[in-house]
Homo-oligomer: A and B are copies of this chain.
Amino acid sequence: MCDYPKPIVTVDTVVLTLADGGLNVVLVRRDKEPFPGAQALPGGFVRIGEDRDAGAAARRILAEKAGIATGFLEQLYTFSGPVRDPRGWSVSIAHYFLVRREDLPAEDRFALVPIDRLPELPFDHRAIIAKAVERVRSKASYTTLPIHLMPETFTLEELRACYEAVLGRPLDRSSFRQKMLASGFVVLALGERKGQHRPAQLYRAASPIGDFGRVIG
């Protein structure tokens, strides 16, 4: 059997959440070579004795490096080549997470950075983040994916604000409500949200949905 020298196999994770009205990404401070001290995506080696697959490795690594143990996970893209990592020919199976802001632990092990205010990043982490944002934007335009960023219950105005933050453009309230309710993936919950003025109905994702990345419209 041809046993060629093997590439390094890592997993990088792009955790996206909604903060201050925009998409933010989780960055951690690297403590090892290469680029010790630099801010970067949480990432690490696949452990063949431990991980069931790349997705499981992503969850393990994210918990280890940032203490984040919840969220919707999807494989993003696999980046590879001889130059992206100074340790040699490498493969990074990138994954993205959508996490509710209130499910994030205290920010003592990571930083939340708006996606349009990224610092210098090592490896090809900027390209990985760009791809994740592009994927989520794209899916937001025709699926219920952004609901993963919302709490248990929410008003339709809050949901629309979430979509607008992800997509980066305003959406018509009337069309949005109609499409979202017609989809059947968002249903009335008990109670209302008291605010400054007329209270808004609370909604929740239709039980048992499981997969919010459903196509609507």
Instruction: Report A's interface with B, CB cutoff 8 A.
Output: 1-2, 4-9, 32-33, 45-49, 52-54, 75, 77-78, 80-82, 87-89, 91, 93
Which residues on the B side are within 8 Å of A91 (C-beta)?
Answer: 9, 46, 54, 91, 93
State which of B9, B52, B75, B78 has its C-beta within 8 Å of the C-beta of A6.
B9
A48 near B1: Cβ-Cβ < 8 Å: no
Interface SS of chain A: loop
- Identical subunits present: 2
Given pairs A6-B8, A54-B78, 10 additional interface contacts (CB within 8 A): A6-B7, A7-B9, A7-B48, A9-B9, A46-B89, A48-B88, A53-B81, A54-B80, A54-B91, A78-B93
- The answer for the CA separation of A9 and B54 in the assembled complex, in Å, is 12
- The answer for the CA separation of A8 and B53 in the assembled complex, in Å, is 13
User: If A45-B4, A48-B88 touch, does A77 touch B75 (CB 8 Å cutoff)?
Assistant: yes
Say how far A75's CB is from chain B's closest CB, in angstroms: 7
State which of B1, B9, B32, B82 has its C-beta within 8 Å of the C-beta of A33.
B1
The contact sample of 20 A-B pairs, CB cut-off 8 A, is: A1-B87, A2-B32, A2-B45, A4-B45, A4-B46, A4-B47, A6-B6, A6-B7, A6-B8, A6-B9, A7-B46, A9-B9, A46-B89, A48-B82, A48-B89, A52-B81, A54-B91, A75-B77, A75-B78, A78-B78
Which residues on the B side are within 8 Å of A52 (C-beta)?
Answer: 81-82
